[in-house]
Amino acid sequence: MTARAVRRRIRAIWPNVKGDRVLGVGFATPYLRTFTEEAERVIAVMPAAQGVMHWPDQGPGQVLLAEETELPLPDRSIDRLLLAHALESSPHPGVLLREAWRVLSDRGRLLVVAPNRAGLWSHADNTPFGKGQPYTRSQLNALLREDMFMPTGCEPALFFPPSERRLALSWAPAIEELGARWFSRFSGVLVMEASKQYYAAPVEKAAVKRARLAEALGGLKRPAVTGPFEPAGRREHRY
């Protein structure tokens, strides 16, 4: 029931992946199976610390065991990248996101499934979403922006309580619909999509570092930095 509820939200954001190359990082296989008959290729990467399992149940394996911060894939080789049970457990989330940025194509899309700090599931130790670092929506949004992604949408999921009781599960679909409409802030999981960002903020930081280095070495005048592409002043041209 849990995987089904999350898959529905994933499909709401990615309704069509026909012809795309889809990669899942972390423990993404419960959500990837919805794409196997539609995408050009579906691959799962499981972190070395987590271990590996055969997937799918039938046919050739489509799982790789690798360090999540060193994906064995070429640059711009993936159209859709799903991070599930990955970001919240990574000791270096920024490095993981930069690696995701590297392997995504220019028009690629990233989808992050992460526990919501305000939801019940992040406080339930007996579930996968109760482990690692939970995020609020604004925290996840800021983290993606810091690592050169532009959030484009977010779907909340898992409003029913983390329980295996039959009564709770029988009411789960109705609770999901009610929660998505009226209590989205308290979802158990955030499903956030982002696209690659190309603005030159890192260039500005590098310019400031060079200016500080120049001052330290020779007392040179700091060059004015007014923005990523904006010059400090304009020169007059004579024709």
What pTM was estimated for this model as a whole?
Answer: 0.76
Q: Which residues of the chain have pLDDT under 50?
A: 200-209, 213, 216, 219-239
Domain boundaries, the chain: 2-196, 199-239
Beta strands across the sheet bearing 104-115: 63-66, 41-47, 21-26, 78-84, 104-115, 189-196, 149-157
Distance set, CA 208 to CA 133, 156, 199, 223 (Å): 32, 39, 16, 8
- Contacts of 50 by beta carbon, 8 Å cutoff, 6+ apart: 26, 27
CATH of domain 2-196: 3.40.50.150
Per-residue pLDDT, 165? 61
Tens-digit pLDDT profile for residues 118-142: 776 676 776 767 677 899 999 999 9
DSSP 107-124: EEEEEEEEEBTTSSGGG-
